[in-house]
Structure 1
Amino acid sequence: MNPIIRYIEENRMERLTYADFIQLALYHPDFGYYMKDDKKIGVDGDFYTSPTMTPMYATIIAKWFIEQVRVNQLPAAVLEIGAGDGSFAQVFINQWEEMTDESLVYILVDESPHHRRLQKDKLSKHHSVELHFLQSLDECHTFSGLVFSNELLDALPVHLVEKKDDCLYEIMITSNQNGLTEVYIPIENQEIISYIEQMSISLYNGQRMEIPLFMDGISASISEVLEKGLVLTADYGYTDDDWLIPTRKDGSLRGYRKHQLIPNILTHAGEMDITHDVHWDSWIRFGEKYGLTFMQKWRQDEFLIASGILDELSNHSGDLFSNEAKKNRDIRTLLMDSGISQSFQLVLQKKNL
């Protein structure tokens, strides 16, 4: 039996919220997508990320952070949440060691045991860096430095609502003889009602929207851990001004499997990535609630240019296989109009600086 269907049948109401479904499909210790040992990122996986497409991404952020340490008198310490297979950390640490003799503390947080094993394998040679591999933020004590995440927020569970006949409903998941299906339930969750009121959300009939209640908890956890420093969050998302445009009528929940878009996330549960667009205004407001002051928001290519990526371009002999030529291609990959950076944004917050 499909494990999700079993959970539904064991539930007294015989239904699950979308947030519960996503939590099970991605993070269940036995069948959750992220908890399995299967390859997920890259050509043999299901999706790409900026750090795995090119090392230039982590290189530029490392150089940016070295400058922040100098300007803000920050401790040389990084806390990466959702560190994945350690690809970002590996390049970041290499660049750090190349540019400075200052000791570095690097903390990697990831729920997946498989990812933590990959991280340890990748970083085992960096004896000059104080490394910590954690399962959750709860294991982290007071920290000062940079809190960084790349594509963390889009993979966290969200509730789903829709306006229908001038009423707001929470869309839930149940099962029948054909498998998993949706049901409309008048909103009973007071946290959803409060979120809609606080964010002044107004939907039109037939429009769906993800409700990221998790943002309250993760903002609180980051603020509780962070004594002094910066929070740099990279992801793809939208703002208050975007949510009423027609292309967002059906919300943004979707899956990726073998690099193919799967619009219906109720299929292939536990076998594909599930993602949604991040509502940046909510992230900023929750941060302000817990003392994380908003500083700036960039499109990813704008951040990279402001941080000096164009200075990395170099002349080369014409040898297309040289390191210089490869680095130039990597930079163009990040900056070209049709590239990944056009869809990503970075948000910077601070605390006690």
Structure 2
Amino acid sequence: MDQVDDGKLRGIILDRIGQRGPIPFADFMAACLYEPGLGYYTSPGRKVGAEGDFYTSINVHRVFGRLIAREICRMWEEMGCPASFDIVEAGAGHGQLATDVLDAVCELNSQLYEGVRLTLVEAEPSLAEVQGKLLERHLAKVSWSAPADLAEGKLRFSGCLYSNELIDSFPTHLVEMTPEGLREVFVAAEGDQFSEVLDSPSTPELEAYLSRLGITLNPGQRTEINLNAVRWLESAAASLERGFILTIDYGYLAPELYGPMRLNGTLLCYYRHTTEENPYIRVGLQDITTHVDFTTLALRGEELGLSKVWYGEQYRFLMAAGMMQELMALEAAAKTEKEQIAIRISLKKLILPEGGMGDTFKVLIQAKGVDHPQLLCMRDWGKLI
């Protein structure tokens, strides 16, 4: 294991435990990821790509953003081609995906582009400068918001909010089924190290969450309950006046996510392109993630006025949105056969299972105030090849 200095944030969390006693794992994870200036996502440094700790679909090829843009163009049409249209990216990172999306909208639909307003929502304010440079040609259309603006209802929009690998990074509660019933994992301190203790749940919402899904964990089974994902969706739904919410992330429907085959849940850490199961090391320096419960997002969405338009694997979404057309255009523009092969290899990562991203990632599209939209992802992509 690499020797890294995580002493400052470690000390802050240990002090909190010393003052309050053991804290829910969700609070520990929140500090590790979002402590101002020290958390994984709120400290300077590149987290994604070759220089970071993991890759996302954004890093594979700009076609990923172009295909999202194709679907956004269809959303605009299904909304009646309004004169103004908001595109909101939640968890905008360095701004590469937003750049790819807006570049493509500009190329594909000049009328939509004329009325587009792009809002970037990002927890790390220092990234605004990097985002601004990437989006330089579109700056007149770009504005910035903090996650709190969405959470507090200060951000209102009509159009499309999308996110890519955002919800998996929300702080989550850990629970375990014991002979005494459901217990929550709390983080305690032993000297300068962290340990776990099981205790009664910190909120009745945890048992209610599983009960609502009809889920009963097996004895000894541990899993995650992401209440923050539900709260985020509630905020997004309240902020959306009319339009769509497009969520891309790795996850499952509840029966698979909470099935007995997942005895230890899905929590994983990422550091320099390696996975780690121990969240109590490299505090603030490694990513901590869990798989998304898409069943709950869809169910809660319906209650909030968000109809489920489409749910499925990323490869199905990308193929139906026009992957083959994009591939053929790229190959036609390639100058050499070697370049063509490189393009094919890159795009395969987006759609292939078993080492690719095609079925690991899922896409959920929800709509508000748009009746029976006919989106690209709803086409039979098998007939488009």
Q: What TM-score do you get using the length of structure 1 for normalisation?
A: 0.93
Stretch of structure 1 that moved more, 145-154 or 58-67: 58-67
Residue 78 (str. 1) matches residue 94 (str. 2)? no
1:90 partner amino acid = T
Structure-2 separation of matches of 1:125 and 1:326: 28
Structure 1 contact 232–349 (Cα < 8 Å) conserved: yes
Residue 235 (str. 1) matches residue 241 (str. 2)? no
Deviation string 1:140-188 (CA, Å, 9 cap, x unpaired) is: 4321101100011000000000011251110110110361110011224
Counterpart in 2 of 1:225? 239
2:347 to 328, 331, 336: 331
Counterpart in 2 of 1:130? 141
1:308 to 303, 322, 345: 322
Structure 1 contact 231–350 (Cα < 8 Å) conserved: yes
Distance of aligned partners of 1:74 and 1:206 in 2 relative to their CA distance in 1, 3 Å threshold: farther
Distance of aligned partners of 1:274 and 1:200 in 2 relative to their CA distance in 1, 3 Å threshold: same
What is the Cα deviation at residue 74 of structure 1? 5.0
Residue 155 (str. 1) matches residue 161 (str. 2)? no
The list of structure 1 runs, each at least 4 consecutive aligned residues, that deviate by more than 6 angstroms after superposition, is none
Give ranges in structure 2 of 5+ residues lacking alignment: 1-6, 371-385
What's the secondary structure of 1:148's corresponding residue?
strand
Stretch of structure 1 that moved more, 184-193 or 163-172: 184-193
What does residue range 183-262 of structure 1 map to in structure 2 within 5 Å? 183-262=197-276
What is the Cα deviation at residue 287 of structure 1? 1.3
What is the Cα deviation at residue 115 of structure 1? 2.3
Structure-2 separation of matches of 1:141 and 1:245: 37
Structure 1 contact 257–272 (Cα < 8 Å) conserved: yes
Structure-2 separation of matches of 1:6 and 1:82: 25
What's the secondary structure of 1:33's corresponding residue?
coil
What's the secondary structure of 1:121's corresponding residue?
helix
1:335 partner amino acid = I
Root mean square deviation of aligned Cα = 2.0
What is the Cα deviation at residue 116 of structure 1? 2.2
Structure 2 contact 49–55 (Cα < 8 Å) conserved: yes
What does residue range 101-140 of structure 1 map to in structure 2 within 5 Å? 101-102=110-111, 103=114, 104-127=116-139, 130-136=141-147, 137=150, 138=152, 140=154
What is the Cα deviation at residue 297 of structure 1? 0.4
Structure 1 contact 56–330 (Cα < 8 Å) conserved: no
Structure-2 separation of matches of 1:5 and 1:189: 26
Give ranges in structure 1 of 5+ residues lacking alignment: none
Structure 2 contact 218–260 (Cα < 8 Å) conserved: no
1:200 partner amino acid = G
Deviation string 1:199-241 (CA, Å, 9 cap, x unpaired) is: 3220001101111111332122111110100111000001122
Counterpart in 2 of 1:7? 13
Count matched residues.
351
Counterpart in 2 of 1:54? 61
What is the Cα deviation at residue 276 of structure 1? 0.3
Distance of aligned partners of 1:120 and 1:57 in 2 relative to their CA distance in 1, 3 Å threshold: same
Distance of aligned partners of 1:31 and 1:163 in 2 relative to their CA distance in 1, 3 Å threshold: same
Stretch of structure 1 that moved more, 239-248 or 17-26: 239-248
Structure 2 contact 9–284 (Cα < 8 Å) conserved: no
2:135 partner amino acid = L
Counterpart in 2 of 1:88? 97
Distance of aligned partners of 1:247 and 1:201 in 2 relative to their CA distance in 1, 3 Å threshold: closer
1:348 partner amino acid = I
Structure 1 contact 5–180 (Cα < 8 Å) conserved: no
Structure 1 contact 208–251 (Cα < 8 Å) conserved: yes
1:351 partner amino acid = K
